[in-house]
Amino acid sequence: MSLPDFTTQAALFSISSRTDQLFGAADRYRLFASKIYPLLVSARAPLEKLYCLDNGRPAVEPVLLSGVSLLQYLEGMPDRQAVEQLRYHAGWSFALNRSLGEEVFHPTCLVNFRQRLIENEQSALIFRQVLEGLLAAGLVARQRKQRLDATQVFGLVSWMSWLDCVREALRLALKELTQSAAGFGPPAFWSELQERYVESKVDYKASSPTLERKLQEAGVDAARLLHWVKSLSDATIGTGQQVALLQRVFEEHFELVGPEQTVQRRTTLSSDRVQNPHDPDARYAVKGQGKQKKEHVGYKVQVAETVAEGKLCPGEPTRNFVCGILTHAAQESDEAGAEKMQAEQAAMGLEKPSALYVDGAYVSGQRLAEAASEGRRLVGPAAHSPRTIKVDLPPNSSRSTWKGARPSVQRVNRTLNAVAWKSSRAAKSVSASSGARIAKGVLCGSNVWLLDRSIGRWW
């Protein structure tokens, strides 16, 4: 698909001829046209590499698609409504250097454009271009205070059982092999697998032993199919997307045991396994316990924004800017996400923030020490004190465990963290204020023993 001719010169009858009457100096569409649109134009060179310049019919202008994608995000509009805005809205036409009534494109062009960016690993191109503009304008410093937090993103897939996942991976592989291995004669068991995984479904009202048997059966069938693929003279068939996915699902759920290579189901599965073959990168994650427990299959997104000093008047827009967005595996910790965010921002020319404001999931003694050694601040809440304390004992003592409510904290001598004792017979908690030292306490008769771990000594 080739690219159309492109120019930044406004048309004779474009909306720009009446800008002073329609759009004030602080109007957001005027600011978009003067500040953001030139940045999108400068991104056309890397966008050109995603198209075939001398073949096919002309594509929709990628600069226009980039601008529409930004405006529809800012105004929270779906694709179809965004195209309608482009047709009828004077502000959109002015912001994107278009004439009112100019021909528009079909909404699916936005879907194809986003997919083109993802397939060519350029999904962050527009964001980086705008961020570079903010840096050049002095609105974002390369090192300043930031706020970092994470949110869950649900995958657009259903929650599958182990049996569902293996069977669906088999079905997709069979569908792919129908095309890729058409030049080879089908194996003797081909019609059996087609009937079992393509033409029929599992009765989920069946008993547990029946479903267990079907899972084992699916593992044996997957092993047979993969073995047949490896026996073909064309090795590229085994590298097909769905065949490779079936190989991965099989290795995650089963193993070959003994000299006869018997298929045996694994009793425990890793959290980073494929949850649904239609989105292999989506992961299972759980947060909280009890009534606060939240489960999802999808991803985790880290979002960093700048922190501007000063108070704002009511209705005044914030001066903070999003300076980093990172998607990573859902089961990974926030600390791991923070490390990846630092690497992502370093690639964009940003330095580590002078102060980073986070929640408790990002705070640990190691991270606090690292930030202090680099002359930075990591600001977040301290970890909660545990409700059950197991302590090491001084010589000639028996082991004890105390349970209690969250304690009050009082300062003890020698900068040794905090210990609160509610009575002469029960120790409620021992906690560390910075993670550098951890004190453990035990009650022996009428004496309280404290262990200073930094020197390995009871006192």
Task: Confirm whether 153 is domain-assigned.
Answer: no
Nearest CA to 174 out of 199, 156, 204, 203 is that of 199
Q: Are residues 368 and 402 in the same domain?
A: no
Q: What's phi and psi for 3, nearest 5 deg? A: -110, 150
Q: Are residues 430 and 329 in the same domain?
A: no
Q: Are residues 224 and 311 in the same domain?
A: no
Task: Confirm whether 201 is domain-assigned.
Answer: yes
Last residue of a domain, one of 139, 170, 191: 139
Q: Are residues 94 and 166 in the same domain?
A: no
Q: Rounded distance, CA 76 to CA 65, Å?
A: 16
Q: Rounded distance, CA 247 to CA 222, Å?
A: 8
Nearest CA to 282 out of 237, 327, 242 is that of 327
Please answer whether residues 439 and 417 qualify as being in contact, where contact means their C-beta atoms are separated by less than 8 angstroms: yes
Q: Are residues 427 and 313 in the same domain?
A: no
pLDDT tens for 77-86 read: 999 999 999 9
13 pLDDT tier (thresholds 50, 70, 90): low
User: Six-digit token pair at 342?
Assistant: 């630092």
Q: How far is CA 74 from CA 67, 68, 89, 99, 240, in A?
A: 11, 10, 15, 21, 39
Q: Strand pairing of 262-265 and 254-257?
A: antiparallel
Q: Are residues 259 and 305 in the same domain?
A: no
19 pLDDT tier (thresholds 50, 70, 90): low
Model pLDDT, residue 303: 95
Count H helices, E strands: the chain?
15, 15
Task: Confirm whether 4 is domain-assigned.
Answer: no
Q: Are residues 205 and 321 in the same domain?
A: no
Task: Confirm whether 9 is domain-assigned.
Answer: no
Please answer whether residues 216 and 247 qualify as being in contact, where contact means their C-beta atoms are separated by less than 8 angstroms: no
Q: Are residues 258 and 296 in the same domain?
A: no
157 pLDDT tier (thresholds 50, 70, 90): confident
Q: Strand pairing of 355-357 and 146-154?
A: parallel
DSSP H helices, 43-189, are 44-48, 62-74, 79-88, 90-95, 108-119, 125-136, 162-180
Please tell me the least confidently modeled range out of 104-118, 182-196, 308-322, 438-452: 438-452
pLDDT tens for 351-394 read: 999 999 999 889 988 899 999 999 999 999 876 665 555 555 55
Q: Rounded distance, CA 12 to CA 383, Å?
A: 64
Q: Are residues 132 and 44 in the same domain?
A: yes
Last residue of a domain, one of 344, 359, 379: 379
Task: Confirm whether 416 is domain-assigned.
Answer: yes
Q: What's phi and psi for 157, nearest 5 deg? A: -145, 160
Nearest CA to 419 out of 432, 437, 400 is that of 432
With 50 as the cut, is the pLDDT of residue 434 above it?
no
DSSP 182-231: TTSPPPTTHHHHIIIIIS----TTS-HHHHHHHHHHHHHHHHHHHHHHHH
Q: What letter does residue 306 receive in the DSSP assignment?
A: E
pLDDT tens for 91-103 read: 999 999 888 778 8
Task: Confirm whether 295 is domain-assigned.
Answer: yes
Q: What letter does residue 233 receive in the DSSP assignment?
A: S
Q: Rounded distance, CA 432 to CA 373, Å?
A: 20
Q: Are residues 37 and 134 in the same domain?
A: yes
pLDDT tens for 64-74 read: 999 999 999 99
Task: Confirm whether 238 is domain-assigned.
Answer: yes
Average pLDDT for residues 138-142, to the nearest whole number? 86
Q: Are residues 112 and 38 in the same domain?
A: yes
Q: What letter does residue 375 receive in the DSSP assignment?
A: T
Average pLDDT for residues 268-279, to the nearest whole number? 91
Model pLDDT, residue 57: 80
Task: Confirm whether 301 is domain-assigned.
Answer: yes
404 pLDDT tier (thresholds 50, 70, 90): very low
Q: Rounded distance, CA 135 to CA 268, Å?
A: 49
Last residue of a domain, one of 379, 410, 442: 379
Average pLDDT for residues 301-325, to the nearest whole number? 88
Q: How many domains does the chain have?
A: 4
Residues 6 or more apart whose Cβ sits within 8 Å of residue 43: 63, 66, 125, 126, 129
Q: Rounded distance, CA 254 to CA 273, Å?
A: 12
Please tell me the least confidently modeled range out of 92-96, 278-282, 453-457: 453-457
- The domain in which residue 247 lies consists of 162-265
Residues 6 or more apart whose Cβ sits within 8 Å of residue 185: none
Q: Are residues 312 and 370 in the same domain?
A: yes
